[in-house]
Amino acid sequence: MAKTYDVVVVGAGPSGLLAAKAAGQAGFSVALLERKSDITRLERACGQTLVSVNDYYFDDVVHYNRKGKRIAFIKSGFSFAYDGPIKNCAAWHIFSPGGNRLPFGLPEETRKKGDFGAVGIAYDKEILFRCLLDEVRQAGVEVITGIDVAGVTPAGAGVTVNGSGKSFEAEYLIAADGCNSRIARMLGFNKGRTFYSYLLSKGWYMRKVKAPASDLLISSITQKTVAPGLMFIFPRPYADDLNVIFLTLDPRVNLDEVAAYFTKENPFFSKWFQGAERLKESASAQYIYSPVLDPYRDRVLLAGDTGACQELENSGAMISGWKAGSAVAAALKENRVGLASQAIPQYVAWWKSTYIEKCPHEAYLMNFALPYVMDREEDLDYIFSLVKNPLPPCWNPYAAIAHMGALIQSLVPTIQKERPDLMPKLAAMSRPMTEILAATTAACSPLQELD
């Protein structure tokens, strides 16, 4: 016998937790279904930073309320308790393989501004999950773990959800099951989406890394593999610990080789890792699709990464989850009192204007383009050697790529004079991402089940 709710939310990541909290606080009966047995355990790699605290992102700006120990999304009008440690991220520096630096912000400057100079905030996602879960339960939500949702059937004025031998019925379903969403695939939301590639990662929390500072976001690139390999170093909010993650879009790249390259072989970076200790390991495997343009049909609303081009970032997922939960709660009220439907159409309009239009996925993907067109490490070293001034402090992929585009434009006259051979490669940056990534896309299969 199926149990009946007003709302079922599938997925207890950042977006699902906020969606359940919003709908539960409005007093509706809400079930939150999660496949993991322990919601507070982080099972997938994440940099665990909040993007973006010093500029608008999804029409909001994230703020850590130190006194009240709360994370606040000021414009969207919600906040939640977070009683774990945080660390301000002072700047984001991209290094070429040879160690030339492209800085988004100078840490010696941003640190002077304290909380208002940071580009991002490093936090502990397991503590954030625990804090959010407490609030979800306080909101009266029934939290059911160990449910791997495998079937969703829209039925008239509701939806039936099946998984792990159980059945649930609800007036609305919020699908917050992440970027490899089975629900989106089953219900046909993926039709018409462009498949680009995978995003594969593997990494470790690390101690005793001799990076330039433990409050810097650092990334770099290698071309020694068949397709580009990337390294991201994220600050952790525990002393000088770091979260070091190796990434690729291409399944032909062996991430252990990428890790070995940076930590043992590359003359510039390997020094940082001498004597470093590896702590907890993490990994992830995701699809990169173009976003879902219309995230609602048949009483199913998509929230967070479910309809996104790989990721909305934690901040975007939380904002989207909160808005989706609020929209469904308002829709329930509309249905009960006989009002014309406007809450869900408004969510869909918000998704289109705030995400699809203002954060074009092509811009997000362009963050991966440079190593695809500049296909020799020497070329990247040369381009980065030309950077004389810092770019604005930034940890927002959409803003960063705009700054990067302006920087490269400003370098063109010099490159034209000194290295005309690089101009055709630079020109390739203006090709569509489907062309830039063509060889990688061909090496991936969008039908493979990645979880």
Ligand X SMILES: Cc1cc2nc3c(=O)[nH]c(=O)nc-3n(C[C@H](O)[C@H](O)[C@H](O)COP(=O)(O)OP(=O)(O)OC[C@H]3O[C@@H](n4cnc5c(N)ncnc54)[C@H](O)[C@@H]3O)c2cc1C
- Site for ligand X, rule CB under 6 A: 10-16, 33-36, 45-49, 51, 147-149, 163, 176-178, 182, 201, 234, 245, 284, 286, 304-305, 311-315, 317
Min dist. Cβ of residue 42 to ligand X (A): 9
Whole-number Å distance between alpha carbons of 31 and 78: 21
- Nearer to ligand X by Cβ, of 175 and 369: the residue is 175
CB 219, min distance to ligand X, A: 11
Element containing residue 33 per DSSP (H, E):
strand 30-34
Q: How far apart are CA 404 and CA 239, in angstroms?
A: 31
Q: Which of 30, 422 has the CB closer to ligand X?
A: 30
For ligand X, the closer CB: 158 or 325 = 325
For residue 73, the SS3 value is: strand
Asked if residue 49 lies in contact with residue 89, where contact means CB atoms within 8 angstroms, the answer is yes
Q: What is the distance between the alpha carbons of residues 346 and 343, in angstroms, rounded to a whole number?
A: 5
Q: Give me the least distance between CB of 407 and ligand X, in Å please.
A: 23
For ligand X, the closer CB: 123 or 372 = 123
Length of the chain as a residue count = 451
Give the HSE-up count for residue 17: Cα atoms under 13 Å, Cβ half-sphere: 26
- Phi, psi dihedral angles at 228 (to 5 degrees): -60, 140
Nearest of 78, 73, 16, 71 to residue 328 by alpha carbon: 16
Q: How far is CA 95 from CA 100, 101, 323, 378, 382, in A?
A: 5, 5, 37, 13, 12
Nearer to ligand X, 255 or 422 (CB): 255
In angstroms, give the least distance from the CB of 148 to ligand X: 5
Comparing CB distances to ligand X, the nearer of 311 and 379 is 311
- CB nearer to ligand X: give 60 or 379: 60
CB of 247 to ligand X, least distance (A): 6
Question: Nearest CA to 335 among 165, 202, 172, 130?
Answer: 172
Least distance between ligand X and beta carbon 267 (Å): 26
Tell me how far, at minimum, the Cβ of 393 lies from ligand X, in Å: 16
